[in-house]
Amino acid sequence: MNDDADEIKEKILKLVADYHNSAYTRQPVNKIPTSAKVYDEKELINLVTASLEGWWTDGKWAMLFEKKLKEFLHVNFVIPVNSGSSANFLSIKALTSAKLGERRIRKGDEVITVAAGFPTTINPIMEVGAVPVFADVELGTYNAKAEEIEKAITPKTKAIILAHTLGNPFNLKKIKELCEAHNLWLVEDNCDALGSKYDGKCTGTFGDLATSSFYPAHHITTAEGGAVYTNSHLLSKIAKSIRDWGRDCWCLTGKDNTCGKRFGWHLGKLPLGYDHKFIYSEIGYNLKMTDLQAAIGVAQMDKLEGFIKKRKENFAYLYQKLSEFEDFFILPEATENSEPSWFGFPLTIKEGRTDRTKFLQHLNGKGVMTRLLFGGNITKQPYFIDYKIKYRQAGDLENTDIIMNNTFWVGIYPGLEKEHLDYVYGAFKEYLK
């Protein structure tokens, strides 16, 4: 790069910072999103720097992001991908690998999960030809009932995949014990729970594999993006290969001959010396994160601890305010032995206390946005019915149906201050008084 280019770059980055500082506006007090990205000029500077560098695909920013996430979580391997849904798919797909022998998930095997959740926690199970088995959940924590999970286990069960609902850790102690006793894989969908702790350790570090989403609603963002993490060398190797077209070669993007014998391999029925770059040992895709996304993520990682602190403070403040309405609602409850980094503030309307649709229309009319607990009862969604999806229900899904009918959540994301939460309280009071 010549001096001119350096100078121009410096000017551009200065202008980017000036632009941000001039364009930035505070969140209005009477418009309360459930979630939104929180960023400053650093994300924009990284993004523009990465774009000027011209590499764009998976490269040095993706490696730096991976390193920061690894250090935060204290895990051995992080595999950045293009979304949280891809991360869930990659995790379940990795568990079908022939490299796992008898433990691998095959067509017709069962994977236990819950129906009160996000569709792409569940869809990868069907995608690999396995059968989802649904267990009921608790109200208050909104996580699976461990005893229902236990009852759902059969000789066909190969794995359990559960989300830490809205950031609230599920009963990792009991679920891990079940996995160990029955030789089951555990996948933690940590998409809504980055920074939540269980027994003093980050969620996402207990299972065989775990996933994050970096869609703007989440704890940190990379625009679109996600990650798979694991402590297992074998699972990380499989997942990386499936992420990268299924290739056997592990060269970084743009590198050749990392193994030192690029033309010396003899695999499958290919001729001896077939270029390792084009040898495929898994059924792969391309699910990589770009450097542009990762550059945003690098700046977000530096803010993560602050975001988590603010989410906890906002949750505690809103809890204290909305406790006044405990006759109307089941208030959220942290799982025993956990410190949630809450994604949202869930409430369930007590039987007959008020009409959810009318109440949510009131809140939305006041600028207080609301969300449902994702799919409610996923088995009642049109796609489950239209595609005649084969599933098994372990026991009744009584609480799942209550969630479908009576639960919703409001925001506590780090862009909100006390004045926003006071406004939320006011909108509740106006309707319920």
Ligand X SMILES: Cc1ncc(COP(=O)(O)O)c(C=O)c1O
Least distance to ligand X, CB of residue 387, Å: 20
3-state SS string over 200-245? CEECCCCCCEEEEECCCCCCCCCCCCEEEEECCHHHHHHHHHHHEC
Kindly give, in sequence order, each residue whose CB lies less than 8 Å from that of residue 34, ignoring residues fewer than 6 positions away. 217, 344, 369, 370, 371, 409, 410, 411, 413
Q: Which of 80, 84, 207, 414 binds ligand X (CB under 6 A)?
A: 84
Which residues on adjacent β-strands are paired with residue 134?
113, 393
Given the rule CB under 6 A, which of 117-125, 235-243, 246-254, 324-332 is the region that contacts ligand X?
117-125
Nearest to ligand X of 59, 375 (CB atom): 375
Q: Does 85 bind ligand X (CB under 6 A)?
A: yes
118 binds ligand X (CB under 6 A): yes
Q: Which of these segments, 100-108, 115-123, 231-239, 308-316, binds ligand X (CB under 6 A)?
A: 115-123
Query: Any catalytic annotation for residue 218?
Result: yes
Q: Which residue bears the tokens 């280019």?
A: 5
* By CB under 6 A, residue 215 contacts ligand X: yes
3-state secondary structure of 135: strand
Coil, helix or strand for 410? strand
Residue choice 110, 188, 189, 291 for contact with ligand X (CB under 6 A):
189
Judged by CB under 6 A, which stretch of 175-183, 188-196, 245-253, 275-283 contacts ligand X?
188-196
Residue 346 makes contact with ligand X by CB under 6 A? no
Q: Where are the beta strands (DSSP E) in 60-213?
A: 77-81, 110-114, 131-135, 157-163, 185-189, 197-198, 201-202, 209-213
- Per annotation, catalytic residue among 74, 164, 218, 233: 218
* Binding of residue 192 to ligand X (CB under 6 A): yes
- 300 binding ligand X? (CB under 6 A): no
Residue whose beta carbon is closest to ligand X = 84
Binding segment toward ligand X, per CB under 6 A, in 25-33, 84-92, 134-142, 172-180: 84-92
Q: Kindly state the helix (H) or strand (E) to which residue 407 belongs, with its residue range.
A: strand 407-410
* Binding flag, residue 121, ligand X (CB under 6 A): yes
Task: Report how far residue 86's alpha carbon sits from residue 157's, in angstroms, rounded to the nearest whole number.
Answer: 23
Binding-site size for ligand X (CB under 6 A) equals: 14
Question: Per rule CB under 6 A, is residue 213 in the interface with ligand X?
Answer: yes
Nearest Cα neighbor of 89 from 111, 73, 69, 74 is 111
The CB-of-430 to ligand X minimum distance in angstroms stands at 30
For residues 121 and 379, which CB has a smaller minimum distance to ligand X in the complex? 121
Q: Which of 78, 128, 146, 191 binds ligand X (CB under 6 A)?
A: 191
Spell out where 257-404 has E strands: 329-330, 338-339, 345-349, 392-394
H or E element, residue 408: strand 407-410
69 lies in the binding site for ligand X (CB under 6 A): no
Token pair 């980094």 is found at 341
**DSSP code, position 102:** G
Identify the three-state secondary structure at position 16: helix
Q: Figure out which of the listed residues 83, 168, 281, 400 binds ligand X, where binding follows CB under 6 A.
A: 83
Contacts with ligand X, 251-280, as mask; x by CB under 6 A = ------------------------------
All residues at 6 or more sequence positions from 326 whose CB lies less than 8 Å from its CB, including other chains? none
CA proximity to 432, closest of 332, 313, 315, 350: 350
Instruction: Work out which of 47, 163, 179, 220 binds ligand X, going by CB under 6 A.
Output: 163
- By the rule CB under 6 A, 226 interacts with ligand X: yes
| Residue ranges binding ligand X (CB under 6 A) | 83-85, 88, 118, 120-121, 163, 189, 191-192, 213, 215, 226
Catalytic residue positions, numbered = 218
